[in-house]
């Protein structure tokens, strides 16, 4: 027993170093300049970021173009294209001597660096480029073997009603871009970008000569008016104040931040392909999202032009929520700190929509938001533009806002709040988001209809319903969905969550009876019989669109309601219904035309379909095979798995799928290696389970070696026996071992309690 305990302790003690080392293994290598940068979607270039500033490393050795995005630089206009997140600008690095040089670059996730090397005719230029983790600056460190002259040019885009300026103060070069004083602009945005050089002089026209044996460092500092009111002065002052001592401090803080990040959890599964995308996905999302900063939009801070697809906004019918899903189980809840604010900021407007458009209490949200109470999804403001883009002159649909036939945008937004609450049982967090959750409960209490002994949902649509150039005026005939599986699942999620949060915080006890009644009497999820005689899920119970009522089986949109993030179905919750969903997943192969198409994830749903299949209990080896086929089919060299309909949400796909195979808890029961072939050796450290538990475990030679649990909040832990049919020994420090038996182990814990479990025989 002492040997086992020593082994476990040594393994856990090495977890932090192992995670950092594993991240270091999975450097992304580029041997040619990026081909799809700039873009309105995901760039294919090396990337670095600090969750606020994003650096996209574009261009060629003779003319590098570094694009600088920032999560808080928006054109706060209610229609896209034109409105949405905007491009602050960037830095051009011109070096005619290095034109057509050999290209080599590495994206290094362990510390968010981009190392690049360019060689031509015996001349070698090396660059180490990184966005400082806790400072508003980009650092570029140069080394050369022969003198090389560069020309550095800050730039910022023209047009789109932006106002630009450029100048210099001492040795600092600067540019600014502003959006202000434009009709319908809801708030101004200003950005300043300031450049300074250490270790070499810079001429009036931006020329710098690099010398061998001497390091030259270029810094680029960015501030917006959302960072601080003296945004321009601060950028210039910080750039001017750069020194070797200050840069050493910035570097030290940067490396320490990323070290702490990688120490939060660790996974090893013996599969280098999936581990590569696991660690790079965690890296890219950490580079996209940070506490205290504006939440990332669809493309994160990796913006390379204005008017990105869908305005780069917060799209509420899954795109905004999905990027965060792996953060909870990966023990990176800090990356979700910025998620709630845009939803809270829209509360007052959401109440107005509910009252005046639907005559209901609570909140009714359009499909797309931005920061600070901005709606990004208004219909075009003139009938002529509406006709050109959507085939109808009616731009007053729903008073000019895009709800697209769906009532679920706000309640969809509540899903991540529940996930975070269940993961942490943080009372302060629960009280912070409770007004939003309660407003959703108000709305759905009013909107649900009592009919023949059950609650039903009318006119909330499974898919977006809107005019377009194909259907023109015919789109209204598609309205009329009744009991959409998406809606039923999310509403059930809401009232299940309201009961738990209300009990935990002690609020609104008088309303729990009503919420429980809704939960108990909500309509059953619609199913039907397929042509081959099996029972399968239906999208909706009734619809004017006949195809919607066919039993098509579980798919991306229905997974959102039922499995992820809805979390109201599963093998523990209802094994009989779960068997139907499992059969549906087994038939995904029937629709495949070629490898990589499993789950129909080329358009959307990579981050939903694969972990959804895990949660219903589909064969783990088959999921791994299909996931690797999907990765091979469509990915960029920077580790970003791409799909047509969105961007940073795919960063959740691999981490969440793997985490769910190793550890599940969403049904109130902790299960280790629930969908993992135990003949595959694997281990994980400090993955987060619902109930505020941090769990570590390993499987080797077909058996679970141990389970270690830290209980942060002292809640009761329900653990499925990792050794079926065997007795279990629970060990705590300085206490006698306790024996358990049975299929499910019920373990009482105290706050910050740590215990380990082993097979007793």
Check residue 434 and give its pLDDT. Answer: 98
Contacts of 725 (CB under 8 A, 6+ apart): none
Q: Which two tokens stand for residue 716?
A: 């009761």
Sign of CA dihedral 291, 352, 85, 284: positive
Confidence of residue 586 (pLDDT cuts 50, 70, 90): very high
The reply to whether 168 and 44 lie within a common domain is yes
pLDDT at 712 over 50: yes
458 is written with which tokens? 């009318």
Does residue 205 sit in the same domain as residue 340?
Answer: no
Mean pLDDT throughout 655-665?
A: 98
Domain boundary residue, one of 231, 266, 301: 266
Angle at 343 between CA 403 and CA 311, to 5 degrees: 60
Q: Which residues pair with 314 in a beta bridge?
A: 369
Domain boundary pick from 541, 575, 595: 541
Classify residue 513: in a domain, yes or no.
yes
Over range 646-670, report the average pLDDT: 97
Residues making up the chain, counted from first to last: 761
Q: What is the mean pLDDT of residues 169-182?
A: 96
pTM: 0.96
Q: Are residues 111 and 230 in the same domain?
A: yes
In whole angstroms, give the CA distance from residue 536 to residue 580. Answer: 6
pLDDT tens digits, one per residue of 290-313: 999 999 999 999 999 999 999 999
Q: How far is residue 331's CA from residue 706's CA, in Å, rounded to a whole number?
A: 20
User: What is the Cα–Cα distance from 160 to 182, expressed in whole angstroms?
Assistant: 10
Look at residues 551, 555, 634 and name the one whose alpha carbon lies nearest to residue 588. 555
pLDDT at position 636 is 98
Domain membership of residue 702 (yes or no) is yes
pLDDT tops 80 at residue 4:
no
Residue 205 lies in a domain: yes
- At residue 10, the pLDDT reads 37
* CATH code, domain carrying 469: 1.50.10.10
Instruction: Say how far apart CA 251 and CA 255 lie, in whole Å.
Output: 6
Give the sign of the dihedral formed by CA 654, CA 655, CA 658, CA 660: negative
* pLDDT given at position 23: 87
Residues 250 and 135: beta-carbon distance below 8 Å: yes
Higher local confidence (pLDDT), 327 or 2: 327
- Give the model's pLDDT for residue 8: 37
Q: pLDDT digits over 225-247, tens only?
A: 999 999 999 999 999 999 999 99
Q: At what angle do helices 485-505 and 512-521 cross, to 10 degrees?
A: 150
Among the listed residues 101, 499, 28, the one whose alpha carbon sits nearest the alpha carbon of residue 283: 28
Other CB atoms within 10 A of residue 607 CB: 32
**Contact call for residues 437 and 490 (beta carbons, < 8 A):** no
Burial class (CB in 10 A: 0-12, 13-18, 19+), 525: buried
Domain identity same for 67 and 147: yes
Examine the domain organization and report whether 343 and 435 are in the same domain. Answer: yes
Model confidence pLDDT, tens digit, residues 504-515: 999 999 999 999
The owner of tokens 């039923």 is: 488
Rounded average pLDDT over 553-579: 98
Q: Check pLDDT > 70 for residue 17.
A: no
Asked if 195 and 319 sit in the same domain, the reply is no
Task: Based on the fold, state whether residues 253 and 382 are members of the same structural domain.
Answer: no
In whole angstroms, give the CA distance from residue 209 to residue 221: 21
- What's the pLDDT tens digit per position in 474-484? 899 999 999 99
- Looking at the predicted structure, is the pLDDT value of residue 11 above 50? no
**Cα 196 from Cα 719, distance rounded (Å):** 57
Is a pLDDT exceeding 50 seen at residue 581? yes
Q: Residue 709: which domain range?
A: 682-759
Residue with tokens 């599986």: 485
For residue 197, is it within any domain? yes
**The pLDDT value given to residue 60:** 98
Residue with tokens 């002065």: 233
Q: Which residues on adjacent β-strands are paired with residue 758? A: 729
pLDDT at 403: 98
Minimal CA–CA distance to 670: which of 742, 719, 743? 719
pLDDT at 19: 62
Q: Is 710 exposed, middle or buried (0-12, 13-18, 19+ CB in 10 A)?
A: middle
Could you report the per-residue pLDDT of 67-110, keeping only the tens digit for each? 999 999 999 999 999 999 999 999 999 999 999 999 999 999 99
pLDDT at position 761: 80
CA distances for 518 relative to 612, 665, 750, angstroms: 25, 24, 34
CATH of the domain at 231: 2.70.98.50
Q: Please give the mean pLDDT across all residues of the chain.
A: 96
pLDDT band at 524 (very low <50, low <70, confident <90, very high): very high
What secondary structure letter does DSSP report for 524?
P
Q: Are 526 and 540 in contact (CB under 8 A)?
A: yes
- Cβ–Cβ < 8 Å for 194, 211: no
Q: Are residues 319 and 458 in the same domain?
A: yes
Are 262 and 319 found together in one domain?
Answer: no
* Residue 18: per-residue pLDDT: 60
Taking only the tens place, the pLDDT of each residue in 193-214 is: 999 999 999 999 999 999 999 9
Q: What is the pLDDT of residues 401-441, one digit of tens each?
A: 999 999 999 999 999 999 999 999 999 999 999 999 999 99
Give the C-alpha separation, 12 to 288, whole Å: 28
Strand residues in 95-188 grouped as ranges (E): 102-108, 113-120, 123-131, 137-144, 148-155, 163-169, 172-179
How many CA atoms does the CB half-sphere of 77 hold within 13 Å?
24
Are residue 364 and residue 479 in the same domain, yes or no?
A: yes
Q: What is the pLDDT of residue 67?
A: 98
Domain total of the chain: 3
* 185 within domain boundaries: yes
A 10 A CB-CB count for 687 gives: 25
pLDDT (0 to 100) of residue 247? 98
Q: In this structure, is residue 471 part of a structural domain?
A: yes
Q: How many CB atoms lie within 10 A of CB 514?
A: 14
Residue at which a domain ends, from 236, 266, 296: 266
> Residues 249, 318: one domain?
no
Band (546; pLDDT cuts 50, 70, 90): confident
In a domain, 628, yes or no: no
* pLDDT of 360 above 70: yes
Domain assignment of residue 255, yes or no: yes
Which pair of tokens denotes residue 393? 């002159």
For residues 378 and 248, membership in a common domain is answered with: no
CATH label of the domain that carries residue 746: 2.60.40.1180
| Cis-peptide, bond into residue 81, ω within 30° of zero | yes
Encode pLDDT of 457-469 as tens digits. 999 999 999 999 9
């Amino acid at each position: 027993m002492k040997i086992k305990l020593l082994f476990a302790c040594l393994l856990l003690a090495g977890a932090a170093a192992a995670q950092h080392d594993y991240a270091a293994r999975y450097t992304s290598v580029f041997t040619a300049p990026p081909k799809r940068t700039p873009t309105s979607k995901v760039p294919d270039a090396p990337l670095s970021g600090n969750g606020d500033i994003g650096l996209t490393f574009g261009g060629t050795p003779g003319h590098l173009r570094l694009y600088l995005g920032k999560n808080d630089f928006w054109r706060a206009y209610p229609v896209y294209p034109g409105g949405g997140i905007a491009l602050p600008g960037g830095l051009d690095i011109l070096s005619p001597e290095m034109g057509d040089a050999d290209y080599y670059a590495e994206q290094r996730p362990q510390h968010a660096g981009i190392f690049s090397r360019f060689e031509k005719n015996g001349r070698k230029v090396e660059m180490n480029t990184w966005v400082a983790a806790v400072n508003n600056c980009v650092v570029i460190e140069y080394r050369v073997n022969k003198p090389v002259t560069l020309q550095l040019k800050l730039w910022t885009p023209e047009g789109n009603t932006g106002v630009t300026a450029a100048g210099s103060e001492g040795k600092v070069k600067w540019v600014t871009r502003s959006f202000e004083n434009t009709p319908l602009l809801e708030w101004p945005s200003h950005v300043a970008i300031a450049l300074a050089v250490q270790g070499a002089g810079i001429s009036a026209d931006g020329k710098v000569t690099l010398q061998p044996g001497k390091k030259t460092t270029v810094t680029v500092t960015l501030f917006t008016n959302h960072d601080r009111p003296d945004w321009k002065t601060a950028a210039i002052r910080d750039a001017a104040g750069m020194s070797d001592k200050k840069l050493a401090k910035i570097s030290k803080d940067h490396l320490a931040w990323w070290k702490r990040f990688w120490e939060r959890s660790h996974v090893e599964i013996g599969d280098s392909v999936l581990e590569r995308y696991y660690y790079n996905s965690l890296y890219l999302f950490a580079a996209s999202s940070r506490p205290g900063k504006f939440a990332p939009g669809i493309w994160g801070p990796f913006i390379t032009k204005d008017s990105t697809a869908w305005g780069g906004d917060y799209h509420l019918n899954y795109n905004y929520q999905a990027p965060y899903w792996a953060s909870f189980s990966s023990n990176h809840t800090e990356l979700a700190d910025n998620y709630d604010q845009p939803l809270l900021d829209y509360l007052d407007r959401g109440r107005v929509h509910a009252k005046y458009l639907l005559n209901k209490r609570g909140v009714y949200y359009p499909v797309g938001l931005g920061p600070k109470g901005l709606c990004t999804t208004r219909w075009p403001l003139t009938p002529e533009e509406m006709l050109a883009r959507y085939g109808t002159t009616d731009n007053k649909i729903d008073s000019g806002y895009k709800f697209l036939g769906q009532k679920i945008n706000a309640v969809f937004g509540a899903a991540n709040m529940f996930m975070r609450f269940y993961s942490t049982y943080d009372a302060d967090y629960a009280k912070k988001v409770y007004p939003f959750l309660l407003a959703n409960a108000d709305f759905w209490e009013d909107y649900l209809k009592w009919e023949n002994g059950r609650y039903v949902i009318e006119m909330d649509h499974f898919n977006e319903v809107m005019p377009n150039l194909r259907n023109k005026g015919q789109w209204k005939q598609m309205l009329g969905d009744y009991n959409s599986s998406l809606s039923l699942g999310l509403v059930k999620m809401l009232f299940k969550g309201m009961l738990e949060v209300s009990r935990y915080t002690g609020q609104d006890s008088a309303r729990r009876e009503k919420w429980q009644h809704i939960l108990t009497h909500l309509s059953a999820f619609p199913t039907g019989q397929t042509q081959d005689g099996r029972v399968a899920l239906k999208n909706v119970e009734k619809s004017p669109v006949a195809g919607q009522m066919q039993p098509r089986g579980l798919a991306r949109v229905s997974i959102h309601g039922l499995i992820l993030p809805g979390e109201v179905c599963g093998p523990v919750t209802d094994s009989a219904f779960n068997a139907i969903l499992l059969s549906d997943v087994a038939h995904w192969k029937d629709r495949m035309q070629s490898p990589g198409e499993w789950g129909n994830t080329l358009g959307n749903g990579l981050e939903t379909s694969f972990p959804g299949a895990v949660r219903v209990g589909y064969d783990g080896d088959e999921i791994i095979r299909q996931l690797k086929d999907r990765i091979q089919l469509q990915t960029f060299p920077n580790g970003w798995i791409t799909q047509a309909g969105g961007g940073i949400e795919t960063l959740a796909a691999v981490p969440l799928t793997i985490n769910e195979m190793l550890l599940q808890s969403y049904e109130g029961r902790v299960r280790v290696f629930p969908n993992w072939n135990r003949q595959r050796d694997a281990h994980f450290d400090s993955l987060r389970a619902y109930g505020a538990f941090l769990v570590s475990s390993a499987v080797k030679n077909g058996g679970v070696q141990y389970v270690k649990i830290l209980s942060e909040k002292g809640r009761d832990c329900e653990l499925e026996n990792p050794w079926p049919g065997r007795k279990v020994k629970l060990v705590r420090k300085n206490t006698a071992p306790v024996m358990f038996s049975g299929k499910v182990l019920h373990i009482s814990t105290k706050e910050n309690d740590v215990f380990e479990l082993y097979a007793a025989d």
